[in-house]
Structures are given as C-alpha cells and as structure tokens.
Amino acid sequence: MLYLADTAPNRIAAIPDAVHRTTPAIDGGATLTQGGQLSAPLDLVTAPDGDVLTVNAGNGKVVETTPGGKQVASRTLVASGAGGLFGLALAPAAQGIYFVNDSGTGADANSLELLH
C-alpha cells in the first residue's frame, strides 16, 4: 500500500498495488482518513506496526492512524504549527522518528529533531 499526504483536503490517501499499477489512481486513491487531527498534512511514514504517522503543517502535530483509518493518537511537536513541521523518517531500529522543525529563526530554524 502506498500512502500519500494530501494537504489541501486534510486527508491521507491509500493507493493499493502502487508498484504494479498500469493505470492512474482515480481521484488520488481511496481516503484512508480525513479531518480529525489532520491539518495540512505534509509528510508521512509507515511505522513498524503498520500504522501511518503523519506530520501536519497546520497545527504542528504528528498523528497516528491505523491501517483501518482510525486516528488513534496525536502529539504536538511544533507549538506554532504554521508550516514549520515537515520531513519524517524512522530512526534506526525503530527507536523513534526524525522530523524537521522549520519554525524559528537563525540556529533554531531547520533543525532535525528526534521523538522517542
């Protein structure tokens, strides 16, 4: 399954069999989840347990969604939101997630942070 952060409609799209598709995904794929804690989602990663972790530009939160589409947890990573949160990757050995905090100025801008 390929998951996509669809920013404008505040949704996560799911495209089955993306590697072998020979036709376009109509309407950008099926909606896994929409609204709720999602607010201008920019990036996502699939966790080892299969849940989808999404970071939002609109509210600075990371949102955990099950493969069934239920949003089960959220946590504020960047208090100001305002587009300051993007870039997401699993840390080695699943010891957390790396994210880019683009809020602030000078040395505080564009920092790579780790959430355990």
Q: Per-residue pLDDT tens for 44-100?
A: 999 999 999 999 988 989 999 999 999 999 999 888 776 677 788 999 987 899 988
Region of 66 (left: φ > 0; alpha: ψ -120 to 50; beta: rest) is beta
pTM of the model: 0.89
Q: Look up the domain containing 106 and give its range.
A: 2-115
Our count of domains for the chain comes to 1
CATH of the domain at 76: 2.130.10.10
Six-digit token string for 54? 């999404």
Closest CA to 37 of 6, 12, 71: 71
1-43 tens-digit pLDDT: 999 999 999 999 999 888 898 888 877 889 999 999 999 999 9
